[in-house]
Amino acid sequence: MSMTFDPYKVPANAISEAQDVIMTNPTALKELENYWAALPRSNGVPHRKHVDPIAMGALLEDSFILERVAPGVARIRVAGRNITKLIGVEPRGLPLTAIMLPEARPDIAKYLEQVFMTPSIVEIPLIGPRAVGQPKLHGKILLLPLRDDHGRVSRILGLLVMSGRRGLGGRRFTIVSDKAARVDAVVGLHAVPGGKTKTHCPTFRVPYHEKAEDKPALRLVVSND
């Protein structure tokens, strides 16, 4: 006797659990760093105005741009849809430390200063600790320095990727204690001529306004999921 699959008979909790699973692209960190390294640069650091969300493709959903507002403090100017879902709130305007647990905030502030002042590439291993209704998450955050229109290193192009089950409510993160963060000073990079850059990740069209430095280079997509 043949059997057919009836989607209407799938248990509701099975569908909910499937939607709750975060599928992380295992090459996303390297893809974004390669994209950043291929941008036109001044003294090793690309300009924010050259960041093109269309060229970033699927990486856009997990990416963000930060603006330095004080020593150790950088606010989120724009963020992808997956980050909004993960933290459970509108991220625009929040300091990056707002998505971290209190014990991780001093170290995050220190790493932000290394990105801006050295400048450096920083990659930090993170966890979302287990709590009631919240399974443990594992992931990383990547921070890449950018120059503003005045030539100052005051912006960061970043990526946040986590894997596991999202669970209930917004998630917050802390730094993995037994794994060292990667901190690489931006040296020895050769300038790339101006013009369009290419990545190998899929692309899609998004609304984009390129003029004016204080307009975001990524477009925030708010999710009501």
Q: For residue range 169-195, what is the model confidence (pLDDT) as tens digits? A: 999 999 999 999 999 999 755 443 333
Domain boundaries, the chain: 24-183
The dotted CATH code for 24-183 is 3.30.450.20
CB 200 within 8 A of CB 31: yes
Q: What is the pLDDT of residues 140-179, one digit of tens each?
A: 999 999 999 999 999 999 999 999 999 999 999 999 999 9
Task: Say which residue, 215 or 23, is predicted with more confidence.
Answer: 23
For residue 187, what pLDDT is reported? 75
For residue 34, what pLDDT is reported? 97
For residue 35, what pLDDT is reported? 97
> What is the pLDDT averaged over residues 194-214?
35
For residue 19, what pLDDT is reported? 53
CB 132 within 8 A of CB 169: no
Question: Is residue 1 scored above 70 in pLDDT?
Answer: no
User: How far, CA to CA in Å, does 150 sit from each of 69, 154, 160?
Assistant: 15, 9, 27
For residue 5, what pLDDT is reported? 39
